[in-house]
Amino acid sequence: MDMNQYLSMFIDESNDHLQSLNENMLLLEGSPNDLSIVQVIFRSAHTLKGMAATMGFEDMASLTHQMENVLDLVRNEKLAMQDFIFDTLFKGLDALESMVQDITEGGEGKADVSEIVASLQAIVRGEDPSGKGTGAAAQASASAPKVGAAIQLDEFQYSVLNQSIADGHRVLYLDVHIRENCQLKAVRAYMVFDLLERSGEVVKSSPSVQDIEQEKFEHSFSLYYITLKDPAELESQILNVSEIDKVTVMELDQESLQQMSELGSASQEAAAVAEAPAKEEAANAVTTQAEAKEQTGQKQTPQAPAAKTPSKTGGAAPSRTIRVDIERLDVLMNLFSELLIDRVRLEQLASEVQNHALTETVEHMSRVSSDLQDIVMKLRMVPVDTVFNRFPRMIRDLAKSLDKKVDLIITGAETELDRTVIDEIGDPLVHLLRNAVDHGIEPIADRISSGKPETGTVHLRAFHSGNHVFIEIEEDGRGIYRENILKTAIKKGVVTQEQASAMSDEEVNQLLFAPGFSTAEKISDVSGRGVGLDVVNAKITSLGGQVTIYSTPGKGTNFSVQLPLTLSIIAAMMVKMGSEKYAIPLSSIVETGIVRKEQIRTVHGNKMVEFRGQHIPLISLSKIFNIKDFNEHEEAETEIIVIHKGERLAALAIDEFIGQNEIVLKSLGKYLPQIKGISGATILGDGQVALILDPNVFIK
Amino acid sequence: MGEEIKVIVFKLGSEEYGIEVDKVQTIERMLPITRVPKTYTFVRGVINLRGVVIPVIDLRGRFGLPEGEYTDQTRIIIVAVNDMEVGFIVDSANDVIDLHTDRIETPPEVVGGIKAKYLDGVAKIGDDRLLIMLNLSEVLNKNEIIQLESLEE
């Protein structure tokens, strides 16, 4: 069977399961006695094992199997979770992650896991690496689950059945006899299977599905089947299939299931074919490796039960989502951009032609295309959770290695951001979080002496505000001390003594982003390589966002990252400067207005206007861009646009407002160098190109 | 060991220039150009070529020749070199010829006021026509432009 088509599904699902394992392990660490969490973990591990085995990744299967053994003991209250067990399990998860990574990159998912396997086995045996061996009870129970593994049902299938009973599904044992004069046994058998699979899962059949397909059976076959259907109804349905002679349906509970499998194990030699419930399959060896191999063997049987189980244990509710290649979404987005340009053009033409019917059609089309735009944009939106979900684990490890106690509290993980932004934002956030734990949160002793709770708190928040998404990382650590920063900045030659004394607190905080600046006195392996925050800042700026630092010395620091919702279509105010047209992103506009000439004052040679009680600089775009046919000084009244960058405001003098528009961002091409004040171009309805201003540059 | 190549012929003033046809994407009549402030002086601005924004440069300006008026003969030649798409404004473009590479000779130091490094060579076509073959990657070399600009300031 060609496995390639399943590989990407396998990788996606493995990642999902690993993620959920990580999350639940962390939950469990918080409340080690909550057995319901252990159940969830067990199920994930179990599914993962099944999938790995089906795909033939033996190392992965055997490692998950060992982890499962440990979890099984915990789940049955034979083993209490302890720190070293958590650590070992986490190590196991890491190893699994790297294997999946390897598979993703085209490798074979092989890794030397013997060390982890050995320590997992030691845990199962009840050995404590610290030497306090907890004894034989655990050991005895370790072999318990293996009993079920004895006959035709391997341990894996047995536990699937067992689990299904526990979940309230019906597990049935069916014995189907086909009429002796039947010519097409395989076809009839196939019809029965087909019928069964419509309302449940065949876990195991005897003879094997392959043999049945090749008519290598006499006149009957038996199978284990999981369903929600009524046995009697099922029986009558099967009997409706032509040439079926007799059907025996037996509903199993956990006890009878065990008996059945033991029975099978006893009679396995006798029953080579048919009739008897036992199968020709050899008894499973008890060792992990043998089992892993056994399961790999099954993957060659296309309809082997193992291949089916993942979907079932994954939950009964059918998924309402599909996975789509991100490239297709990009293509969709590009095509939509083209459409948007034509729409604007049509609107313009319609308003020129003044034909009633045409105007109506164009208006309708505009409405439809705005809805379409919403949907296209939403398709590309991904909850930030996809980035956030790896942080709890990271913070846990980090806090442990630094010997600090840290709680990470995540809020707003459901906030959505454009996929392109999500892909880029991970690394900067990792950096900021590491920074918060390493530099922000103080060592336990310091915290106690300054009267703070011994556990530090890091809040990771995401929320929408206007056209932006904010991600804030706030800790209750030591805060930023102005003097410390200035001292370092002066020492490193980032600023001079004179400059330093004139700087506002906010400006001082921004110094943290200066290249080559790092306040940590010692270089730790966590952060403090001196190439930190400036890289973060550069990355976020390149995404069209910005970082602001708020800090109270002694109380903590807040890094607030502002990000645009999307990168390719923005709302903008179109303005005219003489004969030229420019677009100003709405996100940076505070308001628009008109000032009379006498309201413009000159302070230190700079033009200022009054705006809501404060004086803000008036910037002459025509001067900056050398616009020849417009000069605001010649006008008695000037239109202004008040723009903001963070808290700071400025006014741009412009000629004329055109109106608000959705514009598609285009680059200026590779040939032109970066131009200060211009972030790109867009194509207007009349086919002309207008430049998009980057107002942030005008505010210093 | 030369080969036969196809060359687009265009005019700047009275001189005739050639660009290999496979580097040329299209030739357009004059299009509305949006001025881009604060960039190289010979960059006229950007155009919308079927949904793609492409910078256009005035080749006369690039070579330091006096700039002329645009006429209805004026053309924009869109070339693609090193992943860059750029439009050249030229006085006219109306010929495609076959040229044997063996006939391209190393140029003298200065041809028609243009430095030799912008040229691949000079080919004699017909009795008294000289075709100047442009070295596109050198014409579009940004490092040199930056030096050029800084000298002007």
* Domain parsing of chain A, residue ranges: 4-140+277-295, 145-252, 326-383, 385-564, 569-698
**Whole-number Å distance between alpha carbons of A665 and A587:** 14
- What the block records as the tokens of A378 is 């939403």
Cβ atoms A629, A579 nearer than 8 A: yes
Chain A: closest CA distance from residue B59 (Å): 15
Topology of domain A385-564, CATH: Heat Shock Protein 90 (3.30.565)
Residue A197 has pLDDT above 90, yes or no: no
- As a whole number of angstroms, the distance between CA A461 and CA A473 comes to 7
Q: Write down the mean pLDDT value for chain A.
A: 76
Count A/B contacts: CB-CB distance under 8 Å.
71
Helices then strands, counting H and E runs in chain A, come out as 24, 22
Beta bridge partners of A469: A464, A563
Structure tokens at A529: 């390589």
Å between B124 CA and nearest CA of chain A:
32
Quote the DSSP letter at residue B32: -
Chain A partners of B140 at a C-beta cutoff of 8 Å? 671
Using CA atoms, how far apart are residues B7 and B23, in angstroms rounded to an integer? 10
pLDDT-derived band at B55 (thresholds 50, 70, 90) equals: very high
Tokens 């070295």 correspond to B135
Q: So what's the pLDDT on residue A295?
A: 43
- The percentage of residues in chain A with a pLDDT greater than 70, rounded to a whole number, is 83
| Cβ neighbours of B148 in A, within 8 Å | none
Rounded Cα distance, A56 and A50, in Å: 10
Q: Which residue of B has its CA nearest to A687?
A: B48
Residues whose CB falls within 8 Å of the CB of residue B17, separated by 6 or more in sequence, listed in order? B9, B10, B11, B90, B131, B132, B133, B134
Span of A80-84, A437-441, B17-21 with lowest mean pLDDT: A80-84
Q: How many Å from the N-terminal Cα to the C-terminal Cα in chain A?
A: 63
Q: Are A688 and B55 an interchain contact pair (Cβ–Cβ within 8 Å)?
A: no
- Does the beta-carbon distance from B48 to A627 stay under 8 Å? no
A626 contacts on B by Cβ (under 8 Å): 37-38
Angstrom distance (rounded) from CA A567 to CA A684: 18
Angstrom CA distances, A229 to A157, A165, A188, A513, stand at: 20, 13, 21, 64
Distance in angstroms between the alpha carbons of the first and the last residue of chain B: 46
Name which residue leads in pLDDT, B45 or A420: B45
Of A338, A669, A676, the CB nearest to B38: A676
pTM above 0.80, yes or no: no
**Which pLDDT score is estimated for B87?**
93
Closest to A543 (Cα-Cα) out of A623, A429, A407, A444: A429
Task: State whether the Cα torsion A57-A61-A64-A66 is positive or negative.
Answer: negative
ipTM of the complex as predicted = 0.85
What stretches of A495-588 adopt beta strand conformation (E)?
546-552, 556-564, 569-577, 580-585
Distance CA A699, CA A677 (A): 10
> Residue A687: is its pLDDT beyond 80?
no
Q: How far apart are CA A162 and CA A142, in angstroms?
A: 17
**Which residues in chain B are contacts of A336 at CB distance < 8 A?**
none
Calculate how close chain B gets to A314, using CA atoms only, in Å: 46
* Closest residue in A to B50 (Cα–Cα): A687
Q: Which of B32, B48, B55 sits opposite A672 (nearest CB)?
A: B55
* Mean pLDDT, residues A632-636 taken together: 80
Q: Which residues in chain B are closer than 8 Å to A670, comparing Cβ atoms?
A: 83-85
Read out DSSP for A653-667?
Answer: EESEEEEEEEEE-B-
Confidence band for A152, pLDDT divided at 50, 70 and 90? low
Q: Is the pLDDT of residue A641 over 80?
A: yes
- The pair of structure tokens assigned to B128 is 């008294």
- Which domains occur in chain B, in start order? 4-144 (2.40.50.180)
Chain A residues whose beta carbon lies within 8 Å of the beta carbon of residue B86? 669, 671
Q: Residue A640: helix, strand or coil by DSSP?
A: strand
Whether the bond between A207 and the residue before it is cis, its omega within 30 degrees of 0, is yes
| Residues sharing a CB contact under 8 Å with residue A64, sequence separation 6 or more, in sequence order | A45, A46, A48, A49, A52, A92, A96
**Across the interface, do A675 and B48 touch by the CB < 8 Å criterion?**
no
User: Inter-chain contact B48–A687, Cβ cutoff 8 Å?
Assistant: yes
Provide the shortest C-alpha distance from residue A571 to chain B (in Å).
Answer: 19
CA distance linking residue A245 with residue A223, whole number of Å:
16
Q: Which two tokens stand for residue A358?
A: 């045409």
The pLDDT, as a whole number, for residue B89 is 92
> Are A560 and A472 spatial neighbours (Cβ–Cβ below 8 Å)?
yes
Rg (CA), chain B: 15
The three-state secondary structure class of B112 is: coil
Which pLDDT belongs to residue B41? 83
Instruction: Please check whether residue A60 is in contact with residue A96, taking contact to mean a CB–CB distance below 8 angstroms.
Output: yes
Q: Hey, which residues of A are catalytic here?
A: 46, 68, 435
Residues of A with CB under 8 A from a CB of B: 338, 341, 580, 624-627, 666-673, 675-678, 681, 683, 687-691
Q: How far apart are CA A583 and CA A158, in angstroms?
A: 66
Please enumerate residues of B whose Cβ is less than 8 A from a Cβ of A.
32, 34-39, 43, 45-48, 51-55, 83-86, 140, 142
Whole-angstrom CA distances from B77 to A669, A691, B53, B145 are 16, 22, 14, 20
Beta-bridge mates of residue A678: A693
Q: Which CATH class is domain A4-140+277-295?
A: mainly alpha
Q: What is the pLDDT of residues A532-553, one digit of tens each?
A: 677 788 788 777 778 888 888 8
The residues with which A462 forms a beta bridge, in sequence order, are: A471
A215-241: b (≥16 Cβ within 10 Å) or e: eebebbbbbbbbbebebeebbebbeeb
Q: Which amino acid is at A96?
A: L
Judged against a pLDDT cut of 80, whether residue A434 lies above it is answered with yes
Q: Is the pLDDT of residue A271 over 50?
A: no
pLDDT at position A505 is 78
Sign of the four-CA dihedral A284, A111, A397, A464: negative
Contact list in A for residue B85 (CB cut-off 8 A) is 669-671
Indicate which of B29, B39, B83 best probes the interface with A, i.e. most A CBs within 10 Å of its own CB.
Answer: B39
The CATH number of the structural domain formed by A145-252 is 3.30.70.1110
CB-CB under 8 Å, A580 with B46: no
Q: What's the pLDDT score for residue B109?
A: 66
Tens digits of per-residue pLDDT, B73-103? 899 999 998 888 999 999 999 889 888 888 8
How far is the alpha carbon of A628 from chain B, nearest alpha carbon, in Å?
11
**Do A145-252 and A385-564 fold alike per CATH?**
no
CA distance B11 to B65: 13
Give A653's strand partners: A620, A640
Look at the block and give the residue holding tokens 């049902």. A153
Nearest residue of chain A to residue B37 (CA atoms): A625
Bridge partners of B81, per DSSP, are B84
Substitution target in B43, B46, B86, B149 with the highest count of A β-carbons within 10 Å is B46
- How far off is chain A from B86, nearest CA to CA, in Å? 7
Residues in contact with A230: Cβ distance below 8 Å, sequence separation at least 6, in sequence order: none
C-alpha span between B35 and B27 (Å, rounded): 20
The helix-helix angle for A35-55 and A305-313 (nearest 10°) equals: 150
Q: pLDDT of A369-395, one tens digit each?
A: 888 877 887 787 888 888 888 888 888
Kindly determine whether residue B84 and residue A671, on different chains, have CB atoms separated by under 8 Å. yes
Predicted local confidence at residue A684, as pLDDT: 81
| pLDDT per residue as tens digits for the range B108-147 | 666 555 666 778 888 888 777 888 888 888 888 776 665 5
Residues 6+ apart with CB under 8 A from A561: A425, A428, A429, A432, A470, A471, A472, A473, A540, A545, A546, A547
Nearest CA to A560 out of A436, A423, A685, A385 is that of A436
Q: Give the separation between CA A307 and CA A316, rounded to whole angstroms.
A: 16
To the nearest whole Å, the CA of A391 is away from the closest chain B CA by: 39
Please indicate whether, in this complex, the C-beta atoms of A669 and B54 are within 8 angstroms of each other.
Answer: yes
Check CB contact under 8 Å for B46 and A668.
yes
Q: Residue B77 belongs to what H/E stretch?
A: strand B75-81
Are B86 and A671 in contact (CB < 8 Å)?
A: yes
Name the residue of chain B whose CA is nearest to A335's CA.
B51
Q: Which of A345, A672, A678 to mutate to test the interface with B (most CBs of B within 10 A)?
A: A672
B115 pairs with which residues across the strands? B110
| Ramachandran angles phi, psi of B115, nearest 5° | -65, 145
Query: Quick one: pLDDT at residue A380?
Result: 79
B40 CB-near residues (< 8 Å, 6+ apart): B57, B145, B149
Distance separating alpha carbons of residues A279 and A222, to the nearest angstrom:
9
- Those residues whose C-beta lies under 8 Å from the C-beta of residue A605, and which sit 6 or more positions away, are none
User: Which run of H or of E encompasses B84?
Assistant: strand B84-90
Residues 6+ apart with CB under 8 A from A607: A600, A601, A617, A618, A620
Indicate yes or no: CB of B142 within 8 angstroms of CB of A666.
no
A91 near A84, Cβ under 8 Å? no
Given an 8 Å threshold on Cβ–Cβ distance, is B37 in contact with A626?
Answer: yes
For A247, the token pair is 């059907």
| pLDDT at residue A146, rounded to an integer | 34
CB contact under 8 A, A689 and B52: no
Residue B145 DSSP class: H
Enumerate the β-bridge partners of residue B29: B75
Neighbours of A172 (CB within 10 A): 21
- Chain A closest CA to B26's CA: distance in Å? 17
Lowest pLDDT segment from A74-83, A151-160, A558-567, A659-668: A151-160
Q: Give tens-digit pLDDT for B144-153.
A: 665 555 544 4
d(Cα A543, Cα A531) in Å, to the nearest integer?
19
Mutating which of A334, A344, A689 best tests the B interface, going by the most B Cβ atoms within 10 A? A689
Query: What residues of chain B lie within 8 A of the CB of A678, using their CB?
Result: 36-38
Query: Over pLDDT 90: what percentage of chain A?
Result: 6
Which CATH superfamily hosts domain A569-698? CheA-289, Domain 4 (2.40.50.180)
Q: Give the three-class secondary structure for B31.
A: coil
pLDDT at B148: 54
* Chain B partners within 8 Å of A676 (Cβ): 38
CA gap A496, A489 in Å, rounded: 8
- The confidence score (pLDDT) of residue A53 equals 77
Of A149, A151, A365, give the one whose Cα is nearest residue A276.
A151
- Among the residue ranges A38-42, A146-150, A169-173, the one predicted with the least confidence is A146-150
Question: Among the listed ranges A297-311, A402-416, A452-466, A520-534, which one has the minimum average pLDDT value?
Answer: A297-311
